Structure 1
Amino acid sequence: MSSADYTALIRTRGPEISEAWRGRFTEAYPQAEMMLPPGDEMPPMLIRAALSVLEYSPAEVSDRLKALASDLRRTGFPADEYPKAVHLLIDAISSVSSFVADDHADARADLAALSEAAEIMRETASTLDYEGVPAATAAQVTSMEDHGEVQVVRLEAGSQVRYCPGQVIPVMSPSRPGEWISLVPALPSNAFGQLEFHVPGRVPVAPGQWLTLGAPRGGVRGDLDGPLLLIAADGGFAAAKALLFHYLEQEQPPEVHAVIGAVEPSELYDTAALDALAATQDWLELTQVVESRVGATLEQVVSGAGMWWGRAVIICASQKRAASIAASLHAAGADNVQVVAYDAPAGWF
């Protein structure tokens, strides 16, 4: 591989290229400052996407490019502008290098690959536009409950917001344009457009405010109709709650043992609905684990003998905590383990 190809340049001088690309992008699209997060560079996922296209091929990462295009529709960026945006990237690469693409075969191939990727994204976004798939949804905050580190925020969108239980939805507040936080709805999708999010306390949200919701992603794989161990900890309560109320709507819910974990009792919140559900539903067993009281970690409890035997496992937590819990279960011998992590990156590239 030539040292002058685009792949090598992005790898060795990525921050310079990203900053140059953002400068060109915001000059061409002045309104882009409202789309992009604060900073001097383009979002890292776009640079990772470009590298994946160059290291493999547009055809090999086509599904990932389509997913990215679908996701980025929430920013309001026009579908037909993807080719121009990629040419701005190519210009940015050239601006920090000393070669011209026409002089290098590898660089010409890279340029063609980037252009092909832009066309895949343009076509995907255009098709979704034509089919009338909403690029984003607005929902108004109707009420809030303050639980210290977490705010239980209820919203109404006016019409159904379609997602599956456990899926992550990017959410933007008008007070922080261009900044999207990932949240998991705490209720199943419903015809009334009612939503509930458990929002970190540091995120400013106010009653009456309108939030912008992007396309959902991730979620639980496959149909889980057998015995299930559902674990919630460290920011995962909303996802677990949505899954339990989803199973409540099923004609034959699976047998579920839900384990809600916390370090201190004060970290347990909004559990009244689950207590009531467990009291009336014979398919649900609910256990609350307060580590400071039981003298053991949640990892030790859920990986113990009998807890996961014969059950599929779903862990709802932050990415870091979910990885810790999953590692304990795998070490104990569990192999059917899924993770729903609200803060996990999209993982397309």
Structure 2
Amino acid sequence: MPFPELAQTLRSRSPQVSEAWHARFLEAYPQAERMLPPGERMPEILLRAAAAVLERSPGELRDNLRALALDLRRTGFPAEEYPATVQLLIDAFGSATEHDADLSDLSDLSSLAEAAEIMREAASLADHAGVPAATAARVTSVEDRGGVQVVRVEAGTPVIYSPGQVLPVMSSARPGEWTGLIPAIPSNPLGQLEFHIPGDLAVAPGEWLTLGAPRGGFRDVVATQLLVIAAEGGFAAAKALVFHYLDEPEPPAVHLVVGAGDDEGLYDTAALDALAATQGWLDVTWIVESRVGAPLEQVVAGAGMWWQREVIVCADAERASSLASSLEVAGARDVQVIAHDAAPEWF
């Protein structure tokens, strides 16, 4: 049964509830401190999930809760502790609202306990099935390419993902901090991966990374002509898609447009140009906005650029939204967006 009033209260009191829950959680599980991101609050996605459960129902969100539980396995937190952890949340909610006369009875929060059981079951089944909770991979090389680090890693065992899927990645140097990254090459039997990491998240050869379960990714392409637009951190996803089609017997005709504000923002141009010279289905255009005197949004939304093509935009969430909006205003429909930093849309 939904309880929208409780959901609204939880959202409005989210900072207080989160801090109280954080304190209770670390008191109960002091060994889990390095599992959480820095700060005094629990991860925001957990509060969003709780509010969604109250607003709708655990049954309606069963698939979403299972997805969250499988995603959180990367932290190493035991599946059997989910019910106790959610009881800590209920206690924290009570302490944050103890002076609200109309919320003195918290029995309606029992739906959160039902949600915890759904998550416990999903994570436990994956444990018993032998599905790896996470994968350790070692950084083998780092190349600085104009503010972006091209980082190659090896896991030693296959890391299974599809082109465009996001892997949560945590460095051993920054425990508890997870960054969504999209591998720039397809999954392979050797467990070799390539990530394009912003320069402000420096990594070094020999460093160990923890890789979580993949999420998101491209929808199946049904058109025979495809326009792929990459900007602002989206080149890795676009590159992975191109190399995926390299192994396909009948790839669509792909026009890849890569944009950057200046020349320094473009990298790996020689490799893609060489590939396009040998593959009749691939055409690559490099756009330097300072040279053409127009933003990439204006270029890709121009007449003839997207006509008769299925469109995929690869960029960070803010830029991808801007590019997709420009295309849709121009008349493009059903634009796919792949953003490495987008929050999961489970809730």
- Alignment TM class, shorter chain as reference: over 0.9
Match of 2:117 among 119, 144, 169: 119
**Residue matched to 2:345:** 347
Deviations 1:138-178 (A, max 9, x none): 11111110123110000111111000000111100011000
Query: What stretches of structure 2 of length at least 5 have no aligned partner?
Result: none
**Residue matched to 2:58:** 58
TM-superposed CA distance for 1:299, in Å, is: 0.9
**Residue matched to 1:108:** 107
**Residue matched to 1:72:** 72
CA distance in 2, matches of 1:84, 1:100: 25
CA distance in 2, matches of 1:281, 1:5: 58
TM-superposed CA distance for 1:291, in Å, is: 1.1
**Residue matched to 2:11:** 11
CA distance in 1, matches of 2:138, 2:78: 25
- Asked if 2 retains the 8 angstrom alpha-carbon contact of 1:4 and 1:104, the reply is no
TM-superposed CA distance for 1:223, in Å, is: 3.7
CA distance in 2, matches of 1:5, 1:260: 47
- Asked if 2 retains the 8 angstrom alpha-carbon contact of 1:160 and 1:189, the reply is yes
**Residue matched to 2:138:** 140
Question: Quick check: 140-149 or 243-252, which moved more?
Answer: 140-149
Structure 1 counterpart of 2:339, one-letter code: A
- Asked if 2 retains the 8 angstrom alpha-carbon contact of 1:262 and 1:291, the reply is yes
Deviations 1:267-298 (A, max 9, x none): 10122211111010000011111111112211
CA distance in 1, matches of 2:320, 2:299: 14
After superposition, residues 120-269 of structure 1 pair within 5 angstroms as 120-224=118-222, 226-269=224-267
CA distance in 1, matches of 2:191, 2:79: 27
Structure 2 counterpart of 1:190, one-letter code: N
Query: What stretches of structure 1 of length at least 5 have no aligned partner?
Result: none
**Residue matched to 1:45:** 45
SS of equivalent residue, structure 1 residue 163: coil
Q: When the two structures are aligned, how many residues end up with a matched partner?
A: 345
- Asked if 2 retains the 8 angstrom alpha-carbon contact of 1:4 and 1:99, the reply is no
**Residue matched to 1:310:** 308
Q: CA RMSD in A?
A: 1.9
TM-superposed CA distance for 1:238, in Å, is: 0.5
CA distance in 2, matches of 1:148, 1:268: 8
SS of equivalent residue, structure 2 residue 121: helix
Q: TM-score, normalised by structure 1?
A: 0.95
TM-superposed CA distance for 1:31, in Å, is: 1.6
Say if 1:90 and 1:5 are closer, same or farther in 2 by CA, change over 3 A: farther
- Asked if 2 retains the 8 angstrom alpha-carbon contact of 1:9 and 1:93, the reply is no
TM-superposed CA distance for 1:27, in Å, is: 0.7
Identity %: 64
- Asked if 2 retains the 8 angstrom alpha-carbon contact of 1:261 and 1:290, the reply is yes
CA distance in 1, matches of 2:43, 2:259: 34
Structure 1 counterpart of 2:226, one-letter code: L
TM-superposed CA distance for 1:99, in Å, is: 7.0
CA distance in 2, matches of 1:51, 1:122: 18
SS of equivalent residue, structure 1 residue 278: helix
TM-superposed CA distance for 1:98, in Å, is: 2.6
User: Does residue 1:26 correspond to 2:26, yes or no?
Assistant: yes
Match of 1:319 among 309, 317, 320: 317
Deviations 1:159-204 (A, max 9, x none): 1100000011110001100000111100000111010000111112
CA distance in 2, matches of 1:4, 1:331: 35
Q: TM-score, normalised by structure 2?
A: 0.96
CA distance in 1, matches of 2:129, 2:23: 33
